[in-house]
Amino acid sequence: MRPSLTFSLFFLTTSLLFAQVPQTVVVEHFTNTRCSICASRNPGFYANLANQENTIHIAFHPSSPYPSCLLNEYNMSENDGRTNYYGLFGSTPDFVIQGNIISPSSNFSSPALFTPFQNQTTPVSIQIRHIISGSSVTLRATIITEAPNSLGNLRLFAGLKEDVLNYVAPNGENVHYDVFRDSYFSVDGTQVSLAESIGDSVVVTASLPLDASWDLNNISSLLILQQEDNKAVVQAAEFGLNEIPLSVSKNLALEYKVFPNPSNSVVNIVAPNNTFSNYEVYSALGNKLKEGMFVGQITFTVSDLPKGIYFLKIRQSNFEKVQRIFVY
């Protein structure tokens, strides 16, 4: 019985390690400040949106069918470009949820609008970090592979949005939400390939100038990772420019490099800026197997460990990183 129990525990632990993460729902909203239909339908949608958990939103303002929209004129080419990305240019209001075009005849005020997209999971998570220097902002997006997948041909849209904008528009709308301002890449996104190993990540960086008229407490970055062929959203995230990360340690820990992974011989750890660190290796059942201290980098042996999944904990004075390593 003991071998069967051990195998069952290992199988369960492995399954949990490969568990997917909650998928954030993203709504792309195409509206216009001269559109009277938008003014009548948007309030019901916003009330509906306010009651949806784990859902984010961005509003684009195309120039058709109503030209001279002030929010379009701020960045006409990209507002129109993102609308054309979905083939929606020519009508407002329109909605795209998780890359799916919603029928204009839908009831935008009904919670059922979101039902098909709720409680979904994904093998990818996204972390956002900003570095503001002078009159520009640099985006650092970390895309983490959380579970096995066969995803390919992905594109990452990344843009800045103004969370709340007060403007008395010709159609009678006085408050506008999540107004698109600028994109870090082209409006159809930049190509991204996921890290192959579970727990590993790829980092995408880009910079944009900051408009002197913006209140940085009211500006956020919104990212959408989606499949290139059908535009289905894999994962999305948003983060305010002046928002403080919940865990500074988690962001700093991403600077550590661990390789090769998987391995059947040795594993290397390289620390940022030659910092003093220590490491510990734990079994899947929580038993400490190895530990040590180092400055800058270290190599430790895994050839003496049975094949399987282990936890590597790296610690420094003010943060720690925990990463899965695989021995084969």
CATH of the domain at 304: 2.60.40.3080
pLDDT for the residue numbered 246: 44
Distance between CA atoms of residues 71 and 167, nearest Å = 9
Distance between CA atoms of residues 267 and 300, nearest Å = 6
Q: Does 236 share its domain with 254? A: no
CA angle 198, 18, 300 (to 5 degrees): 45
Tokens of 108: 């935008």
Q: Assign residue 115 the CATH number of its domain.
A: 2.60.40.10
Q: Does 239 share its domain with 256? A: no
pLDDT for the residue numbered 326: 80
Which amino acid is residue 87, in one-letter code? Answer: G
Domain end marker among 243, 274, 304: 243
Q: Does 319 share its domain with 170? A: no
Distance between CA atoms of residues 33 and 83, nearest Å = 15
> Number of structural domains, the chain?
2
pLDDT digits (tens, 9 = 90+) for 228-259: 999 999 999 999 887 755 444 444 455 778 88
pLDDT for the residue numbered 244: 56
Residue 189: is it exposed, middle or buried by C-beta count within 10 angstroms (0-12/13-18/19+)?
buried
Asked if residue 219 is part of any domain, the answer here is yes
Alpha carbons within 13 A on the beta-carbon side of 171: 24
pLDDT for the residue numbered 284: 67
Q: Does 239 share its domain with 266? A: no
- 287, 312 in Cβ contact below 8 A? no
pLDDT for the residue numbered 173: 95
Asked if residue 310 is part of any domain, the answer here is yes
Tokens of 1: 């019985």
Nearest CA-CA partner of 309 in 4, 17, 19, 7: 17
pLDDT for the residue numbered 112: 95
Q: Which domain holds residue 136?
A: 21-243
Stretches in the chain below the pLDDT threshold 50: 1-4, 6-17, 246-252
Domain end marker among 225, 243, 261: 243
pLDDT digits (tens, 9 = 90+) for 83-107: 999 999 999 999 999 999 999 999 9
pLDDT for the residue numbered 2: 47
Other beta carbons less than 10 A from residue 206's beta carbon: 16
pLDDT for the residue numbered 18: 57
